[in-house]
Amino acid sequence: MTRAFTLLSLLVASIWLLFLAERHSLSSTPHRQFGPVIRHGSGKAANWAGYVAATDLSVPLKHSVTDVQGTWRVPTVVSSGTLNTASAIWVGIDGSSDRTVEQIGTEQDWTSGAPVYYVWFEMYPARGFMLTAFPIQPGDEISAEVQFIAKNKFVLSISNLTQNVGFSITRKRAAQRTSAEWIVEAPFFRRILSLADFGTMTFSGCTATIAGVEGSINSNLWQNEGLTMENPSSSTILAQPSALTGGGTGFTVDWKHN
Over the range 96-123, which residues count as b (16 or more CB within 10 Å of their CB) and which as e? bbeebbbbbbbbbbbeeeebebbbbbbb
Q: What is the mean pLDDT of the chain?
A: 92
Measured over the CA atoms of residue 9, residue 205, residue 101 and residue 31, the dihedral's sign is positive
- Whether 245 shows a pLDDT value over 90: the answer reads yes
Distance between CA atoms of residues 202 and 88, nearest Å: 13
pTM: 0.91
pLDDT at 10: 46
Residue type, 53: A
pLDDT at 30: 84
Distance between CA atoms of residues 145 and 141, nearest Å: 14
Tens of pLDDT, residues 17-52: 444 444 447 999 988 899 999 999 999 999 999 999
Distance between CA atoms of residues 74 and 256, nearest Å: 18
Distance between CA atoms of residues 109 and 87, nearest Å: 6
Tens of pLDDT, residues 120-166: 999 999 999 999 999 999 999 999 999 999 999 999 999 999 999 99
- CA proximity to 182, closest of 130, 126, 224: 224
